[in-house]
Structure 1
Amino acid sequence: MSHEGHEEEENMAAWLVSINTLKIQPFKLPPLGPHDARIRIKAVGICGSDVHYFKKMRNAHYVMKEPMVMGHECAGIIEEVGSEVKNVVPGDLVAIEPGISCSHCDLCKQGRYNLCPNMKFFASPPVHGSLANQIVHPANLCFKLPDNVSLEEGAMCEPLSVGVHACRRANIGPETNVLIMGAGPIGLVTMLSARAFGAPRIIIVDVDEHRLSVAESLGADETVKVSAKIEEVSEEVVEIQKAMRSRVDVSFDCAGFDKTMTTALSATRAGGKVCLVGMAQAQMTVPLTPAAAREVDVIGIFRYKNTWPLCLEFLRSGKIDVKPLITHRFRFSQKEVEEAFETSARGGNTIKVMFNL
């Protein structure tokens, strides 16, 4: 298709119109600003938050009031750039960072732009997402893919960024033994990131046998199967510490339940750190006092900042391989969009569902 032809071709997107109802409908793009790029989207992954909107029209405190275009894990090809754009040219393959911060509030000025109160983030109401033929986005949030990194891997930079940001916040290095609670997509990218940051030993914990076998195949040193029962925390902590064969320096709770956080706080050594990544429960009740008395630092994370260049370098160098995480692939048709979201919502052996547009 020639560039001249794009005017006649209608841009289509996958809209969530009501609970469990997705429709491929026209999506009108804003005009191209001087610092923008128009991108033909080629790969989009489905995230847990997308599924929440699909099933409930809400996610945490974000509530959908009107139809919204889905999707925020994405990569594509630059079609057109604004007059001031220097970092990319038409034809470039790019991974896209989905959040636009205001860049002038205190948090943005301090470089903590992920905490910007005025963030416009793909597919967080009322902002439309990127599961569309084309989108317009600031060019400085488009990162050129290295030659040996595919568009699908480019889309995987978004979930991978969460793991990278968590590892930076928790200061992971060659001297930190890591415990990860939860072997879902985010637990797995956190594990891959911790390894790339040099963690010598990583133990991963889950209730699901299949997820643990995936974690093992991706390089976990050992896995521990646990129950969902809070009463069993103390014996499970003993088992986890035995599996570590050393002390647990940093724990990542990539699930976010009372039970997982309680386990992480108890299993981590005095003077260690617990990083809360998952958000299964809006509020938690955990034994903070005994952990604080052992000077265990509790840190939280929200999304990521300045992670795309490092993610792309990890993928380029082969330090991280995200390809095995992609378990299901779908095309961009009404039938397949519905099927893809149902597949992702069902869970089971699904890790990452990917659209190829």
Structure 2
Amino acid sequence: MRASVLVEPGRIEIRERAVPTPAPGDVLVQVSSVGVCGSDAHYYREGRIGEFVVEQPIVLGHEASGTIVGVGEGVATDRIGQRVSIEPQRPDPGSDETRRGLYNLCPHMQFYATPPIDGALAEYVTIGAAFAHAVPDEMSDDAAALCEPLSVAIATARKAGLTAGSRVLIAGAGPIGIATAQTALAFGATEVIVSDLDAQRRAVAAKFGATTVLDPREQDVSALRVDAFVDASGAPSAVLAGIGAVRPAGTVVLVGMGSSEMTLPVQTIQNRELILTGVFRYANTWPAAIALARSGRVDLDSMVTGKYPLAEAEQALNADRMPGSLKAVVRVQE
């Protein structure tokens, strides 16, 4: 099979590799679509994200969909031919975190495209059968792949405690910010305020349902009073301003990739008794993601702004530098 391999930072090669064999409990998936995530771009350009370092050639991509074409021992053969959205995780079923239901925090996790585990920018992959989620016929391959970033948004909305009538501020109108804005509305939030420095991205946020968009350079974000603040930017200035906007006993959720360390307004957090937490991937989100996308409450297809064949995976990894780009997708079989 063909696979797009990150040989070293800044260099991608299309290489021939053996088609993987599904282990007991696994399925073999012929990959259809793979969304490009900011983490993929980080690995491509810098070779690392924090403590995760690329030390050998690796296949990137963890937002994936496809069709089951083979099964391992113990998996029903009637799953062959099923279209699926891949939840790209292999937790240790015996770890304390997994047994608590928090399998995303398993210390022995094997996650697609996190060194040294290969990802989905290849013609075939294997995954545990329970992590290959069947999708309805009306869902596109691209939307099935983007159930992964939607799952991040769902995990974020749950952490933020969003519900009917919630007022939420989201910093950053990239893919996760846009997915979170749509999810917040689906969860019942009545005010979804999105801040971003870029006018084009603010316009995109408004298109996807944000009730208010603002430029934080022109408006005092900390003067707002919201129930929850979600940082999808990773910018320390955005985090500081956002914390200042949260009402007493409100919630702050950090999801954006940015500085590994930053100074926080501890007195504000203490005096307002704010809940401050992070989001690391997701757990138990795929059924909700598929339902939200199927219902039309979240529009994943419209988030796709670029489509590339596998041979042009490197261009897809650089698509985020193009004006107007929101989400690039690699069509593996084209």
TM-score by length of 2: 0.96
Deviation for aligned residue 1:317: 1.2
Q: 1:337 aligns with which of 313, 328, 331?
A: 313
Q: 1:164 aligns with which of 154, 166, 178?
A: 154
Compare 211-220 and 188-197 and name the one that shifted more.
188-197
Distance 1:93 1:61 in 2: 34
One-letter amino acid of the counterpart of residue 128, structure 2: P
| Equivalent residue number for residue 47 of structure 1 | 37
**What SS does the aligned partner of 1:316 have?**
helix
Unpaired segments of 5 or more residues in structure 2? none
| Equivalent residue number for residue 237 of structure 1 | 222
How far does the alpha carbon of each residue in 1:147-197 deviate from its partner, in whole angstroms, 9 at most, with x for none?
211111000001111000011112210031111011111111111111111
Deviation for aligned residue 1:321: 0.9
| Equivalent residue number for residue 195 of structure 1 | 185
**What SS does the aligned partner of 1:77 have?**
strand
**What SS does the aligned partner of 1:43 have?**
strand
Preserved CA contact (<8 Å) 1:29 1:136: no
| Equivalent residue number for residue 8 of structure 1 | none
Deviation for aligned residue 1:87: 9.0
| Equivalent residue number for residue 268 of structure 1 | 246
Shift in alpha-carbon separation, 1:288–1:279, aligned structure 2, 3 A: farther
Preserved CA contact (<8 Å) 2:222 2:243: no
Distance 1:32 1:52 in 2: 29
Preserved CA contact (<8 Å) 1:253 1:275: yes
Preserved CA contact (<8 Å) 2:305 2:325: yes
Distance 2:304 2:103 in 1: 29
Preserved CA contact (<8 Å) 1:87 1:140: no
1:143-292 equivalences under 5 Å are 143-227=133-217, 235-238=220-223, 241=224, 247-292=225-270
Deviation for aligned residue 1:31: 2.8
Distance 1:292 1:74 in 2: 41
Distance 1:161 1:88 in 2: 27
Distance 2:268 2:123 in 1: 52
One-letter amino acid of the counterpart of residue 215, structure 2: K
Q: 2:49 aligns with which of 59, 69, 72?
A: 59
Shift in alpha-carbon separation, 1:70–1:38, aligned structure 2, 3 A: same
Which 4+ stretches in 1 moved above 4 angstroms?
none
Greater Rg over alpha carbons, structure: 1
TM-score by length of 1: 0.90
1:354 equivalenced with 2:329 (yes/no) = yes
1:76 equivalenced with 2:66 (yes/no) = yes
One-letter amino acid of the counterpart of residue 353, structure 1: A
- Output the aligned Cα RMSD: 1.5
Percent identical residues? 36
Distance 1:225 1:297 in 2: 25
One-letter amino acid of the counterpart of residue 100, structure 1: R
Shift in alpha-carbon separation, 1:274–1:94, aligned structure 2, 3 A: same
Preserved CA contact (<8 Å) 1:121 1:127: yes
